[in-house]
């Protein structure tokens, strides 16, 4: 019976060792992503903004560059993140092209938590 116990202990230790080596912790921060597009985005579509919902932030719709064309992404609700400000995606002029900057959450410099 001690041989069986030793084998089980060895297999458990081996499994824990492989799991520890293979584990990758989640990223702590998002990287900055931008895409440069040669044509101006179409004007935003009209969207009826729904009434406010407690604990949620409304993210307006925007034009996303997919492959070789613009595709409309409708507005949606995000769960509020205390201490952060939602920044919608934007297209900024970049030379003779347009640079697309993805939506992101920035730290709110005026937020100090609940007191």
| Across 35-45, average pLDDT | 87
- Could you give the C-alpha distances from 19 to 10, 12, 16, 26, 62, in angstroms and in order? 14, 10, 5, 15, 41
Number of residues that this document lists for the chain: 115
Q: What is the pTM of this model?
A: 0.62
Q: Cα–Cα distances in Å, from 79 out to 57, 99, 103, 111, 113? A: 6, 27, 14, 17, 17
For residue 28, the model assigns a pLDDT of: 45
Residue 61 has a pLDDT of 95
Name the more confident of 6 and 40: 40
Structure tokens at 24: 């990758």
């Amino acid at each position: 019976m001690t041989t069986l116990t030793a084998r089980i202990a060895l297999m458990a230790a081996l499994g824990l060792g492989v799991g520890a080596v293979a584990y990758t912790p989640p990223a702590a921060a998002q990287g900055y992503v931008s895409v440069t597009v040669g044509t101006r985005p179409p004007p935003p579509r009209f969207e009826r903004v729904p009434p406010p919902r407690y604990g949620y932030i409304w993210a307006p719709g925007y034009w996303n560059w997919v492959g070789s064309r613009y595709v409309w992404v409708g507005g949606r609700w995000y769960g509020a993140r205390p201490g952060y400000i939602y920044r919608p995606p934007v297209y900024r002029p970049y030379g003779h092209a347009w640079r697309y900057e993805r939506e992101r959450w920035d730290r709110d410099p005026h937020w100090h938590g609940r007191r």
